[in-house]
Amino acid sequence: MSDIKLERKIVWLAGLIQLAHVLDFMIIMPLGPDLTTAIDIPSSKMGLLGGSYTFAATISGIAFARYLDRYDRKNAVLFFLIGLVISTFLCTFAWDTNSMLFARTVAGFFGGPVTALSLSMVVDKVPVERRGRAIAIVTSAFTVSSVFGIPLALELALKFNWQAPFYTVAILGILIIVGIILMLPPMSDHIDKNSKEPQTVPIWPMLKRREIQLSFLLLALLSFAQFSLFSATVNYFVFNLGFAREGLSEIYVVGGVLSFIVMMLTGRIIDLYGNRLLSIVITAFYVCILADGFLHIPIMPIMAVFSLFMMSAAIMGVICSTIASEAPGERERAAFMSLQTTFRNMAAGAGGLVASWVLISDENERLTNVPIIASIAIICIILLPIIIITLRRELNLKNLK
């Protein structure tokens, strides 16, 4: 099999793994009304169910980080993906809040490492000069799930029952497992064959390196900025700006399709021209969108604000993920990706927590202090090109050694 053909198979399978993981993570929130009606899970507990997944993914990411590079990537990703499928099936047997909480926690435990391993597979096999487009495909999972996955899950729950979306995600996971078994060769080039000791990545020495610190800071700032605004965007549009509830599906579809198209183009541009200049241009554009959309009553239509917001967030995600993928060495990539996912989860959670502290709802559910949250997000976004330029300098110095 040629390297190009193998690269394509790895990239698309990694993208599907990410899609299954994102769907599994996101699916619980929109099903809230169905779960409340069917198995008496209170609305106030939905945040707990969503948070349990992220918390478990964070714990497992830290626990497994130093060991993931010890094993063949194919075998390791199969182990965690099988665990994710089984735990997703377990959700269909839930009968109350505690049983669903247990199933979601187990799913998060397997979901954290599977994300890191799928990205490691891509970074192992795809050279830097073609990595931008590969990262764009893999990270488009969030966009695809928002546009197609969540609406489909809601329709399945409406036509059948609340278990149907979980069955669907589990079946998707089984198909991916079969694809990995049949289509991928062993992936153990990162393992030191001459070492007699089991390979374990020393975490603290890795965390002390400047390029690793900058990579984690870069992605943590991006996640914090985006999730601090994402957590309140829909309510802000509906209750503050008077956008019709019935139109929310439309803006998600338009924004998601636009983001997916632009992400593919961004990957090609990064491969051809690099990411420093692009990061400066997109940052300026991103800040303008946030300023118009959230610092005052927007001049642009809400459809345009939300679509361009999603598009800018998607482009910055590709830029930051691509340059960060160059930081780890060959034998520490899974450890790096696992910790990277952990830091992103923690930053996203912190963003949502800060937003919940700052934003206040009045008697009409209108949000106050939205400009404060937007200003914090804008400051984080402005810092990204500075970190990217500094990180590129550090990576160049590392390559010269």
Q: What is the pLDDT of residues 282-300, one digit of tens each?
A: 999 999 999 999 998 889 9
Model pLDDT for residues 206-222, shown as the tens digit of each residue: 778 888 889 989 989 99
Residue ranges of domains in the chain, CATH in brackets: 3-183 (1.20.1250.20), 203-400 (1.20.1250.20)
3-state secondary structure of 361: strand
Q: Does this model's pTM top 0.85?
A: no
Residue 171 has pLDDT above 80, yes or no: yes
Q: What is the pLDDT of residue 1?
A: 47
Dihedral over Cα of 100, 103, 108, 111: its sign: negative
Is the per-residue pLDDT at 78 higher than 70?
yes
β partners of residue 104 = none
Euclidean distance between CA atoms 151 and 148, whole angstroms = 6
Give the list of residues 6+ apart from residue 353 with CB closer than 8 angstroms, or none. none
The predicted structure's pLDDT at residue 51: 67
Would you state the structure tokens that stand for residue 131, as one six-digit string? Answer: 């990595």
| pLDDT at position 82 | 93
Q: Where are the alpha helices (DSSP H) in 295-332?
A: 302-324
How buried is 179 (Cβ within 10 angstroms: 0-12 exposed, 13-18 middle, 19+ buried)?
A: middle
Convert the pLDDT of each residue in 121-154 to its tens digit.
887 777 767 766 777 777 776 666 666 676 777 7
pLDDT value for 394: 87
Please indicate whether residue 349 or residue 213 has the higher confidence score (pLDDT). Answer: 213
**Does residue 389 have a pLDDT over 80?**
yes
pLDDT of residue 257: 80
DSSP 50-104: HHHHHHHHHHHHHHHTTTGGGS-HHHHHHHHHHHHHHHHHHHTT--SHHHHHHHH
